[in-house]
């Protein structure tokens, strides 16, 4: 199997080896130490301000998005949601479900968010902003710095869903002033799905501790208290947390966040260079490093996904909804190499020879 989807992705042999072991009991000093190390690595790689905290939730990343919406906002807020695709729409839906007043800044698929578009909302009575830093459905990377300045000027609580962009695109909580950063285990962390991570700046820790959240499982104040001793309120995905520990250690040993971002960027550049001349157009006006969404000019995007999977053992990532027939995505995250890119591009060329591309 050669997996170019955007999650789950290919794991390193070291991470796979941890997954093959028995899962230990977790209310121990040893497991607490693992969790506290995981927390420190996350804070460092997110470039979080002094006094920030990391929480590890046993849920997919949508669970973390929901937990943040529930714990950080109330019906007294008014949140601006950047909605450029299916993940932006998810934030809007979460606000709707939890009765958080919100306004959507809607973008067309692949469209870049410009300063003009954002500042059309300047000076209005918003209290928060939600953005998916890489809107993974179309691979659009938003400018976290520009949005951060807007948030600072308007005193907005700034939430960055970095689920697919964390360690793929340059990001600094300190630099852009984000109050919250969210990511998950199955994207650049290249572990199995099941754990999501929330990094809270001190401003967010304060907000979470004063929240009156109507949820037991997603009570982040409870999670913060437990995390002081490296524990979680309920049984976490212990095995995945051990794999995350191995992976974070691996990233640290290979040069940290910057080196991982550079590796993913090089993987993307190599792929985009190799498909030059093939009958595709790029979808994103502002491409993120983690994924390249492609529009095939002559063939059906979903058929390409099926053919590659069934006849070549190669997985690219289909799109859902409206873009299903017209766009598929190639991921550059996880344990992939430039040689893997060549294998995929050779498969495209083979399809082209057969008149299927």
Other residues' Cβ atoms within 10 Å of the Cβ of residue 225: 13
246 binds ligand PLP (CB under 6 A): no
66 binds ligand PLP (CB under 6 A): no
5 binds ligand PLP (CB under 6 A): no
Residue 234 to residues 193, 227, 254: CA-CA distances in angstroms?
Answer: 18, 11, 33
300 binds ligand PLP (CB under 6 A): no
Instruction: List Cβ neighbours of 22 (8 Å cut-off, separation of 6 or more).
Output: none
83 binds ligand PLP (CB under 6 A): no
62 binds ligand PLP (CB under 6 A): yes
- Least distance from ligand PLP to the Cβ atom of residue 66, Å: 9
143 binds ligand PLP (CB under 6 A): no
Q: Which is nearer to ligand PLP, 47 or 134 (CB)?
A: 134
* Choice from 12, 32, 60, 172 touching ligand PLP (CB under 6 A): 60
Give the residue ranges of DSSP H helices in the chain: 13-19, 29-45, 61-72, 86-97, 115-119, 144-154, 173-176, 202-209, 220-227, 238-253, 256-274, 301-307, 338-353
Alpha-carbon span 247 to 230, nearest angstrom = 18
87 binds ligand PLP (CB under 6 A): yes
318 binds ligand PLP (CB under 6 A): no
Instruction: List Cβ neighbours of 254 (8 Å cut-off, separation of 6 or more).
Output: 260, 263
Q: Which is nearer to ligand PLP, 6 or 201 (CB)?
A: 6
Instruction: List Cβ neighbours of 312 (8 Å cut-off, separation of 6 or more).
Output: 347, 350
Tokens of 253: 């040993």
Give the contact letters, 177-206, x = binds to ligand PLP (CB under 6 A), - = no.
Answer: -------x--------x-------------
Binding site for ligand PLP (CB under 6 A): 7, 60-62, 87, 132, 134, 136, 161, 163-164, 184, 193
């Amino acid at each position: 199997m050669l997996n170019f989807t955007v999650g789950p992705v290919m794991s390193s042999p070291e991470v796979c080896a941890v997954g093959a072991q028995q899962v230990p009991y977790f209310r121990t000093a040893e497991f607490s130490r693992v969790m506290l190390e995981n927390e420190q690595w996350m804070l460092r790689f997110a470039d979080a301000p002094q006094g920030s905290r990391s929480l590890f939730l046993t849920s997919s990343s949508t669970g973390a998005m929901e937990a943040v919406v529930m714990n950080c906002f109330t019906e007294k807020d008014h949140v601006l949601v950047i909605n450029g695709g299916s993940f932006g729409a998810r934030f809007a839906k979460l606000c709707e479900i939890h009765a958080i007043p919100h306004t959507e800044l809607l973008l067309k698929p692949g469209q870049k968010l410009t300063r003009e578009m954002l500042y059309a909302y300047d000076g209005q009575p918003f209290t928060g902003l939600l953005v998916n830093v890489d809107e993974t459905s179309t691979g659009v990377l938003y400018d976290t710095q520009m949005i951060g300045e807007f948030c600072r000027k308007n005193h907005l609580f700034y939430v960055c869903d970095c689920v697919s962009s964390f360690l793929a695109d340059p990001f600094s909580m300190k630099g852009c002033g984000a109050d919250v950063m969210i990511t998950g285990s199955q994207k650049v962390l290249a572990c199995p799905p099941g754990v999501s991570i929330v990094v809270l700046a001190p401003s967010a820790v304060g907000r979470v501790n004063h929240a009156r959240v109507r949820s037991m499982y997603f009570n982040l104040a409870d999670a913060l208290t437990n995390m002081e001793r490296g524990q979680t309120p309920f049984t976490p995905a212990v095995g995945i947390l051990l794999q995350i520990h191995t992976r974070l250690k691996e990233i640290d040993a290979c040069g940290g966040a910057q080196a991982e971002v550079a590796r993913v960027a090089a993987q993307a550049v190599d792929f985009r260079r190799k498909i030059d001349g093939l009958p595709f157009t790029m979808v994103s006006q502002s491409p993120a490093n983690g994924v390249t969404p492609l529009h095939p000019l002559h063939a059906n995007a979903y058929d390409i996904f099926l053919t590659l999977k069934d006849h070549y053992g190669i997985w690219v990532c289909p799109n859902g909804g409206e873009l299903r027939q017209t766009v598929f995505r190639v991921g550059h995250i996880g344990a992939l190499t430039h040689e893997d890119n060549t294998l995929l591009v050779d498969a495209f060329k083979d399809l082209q020879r057969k008149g299927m591309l």
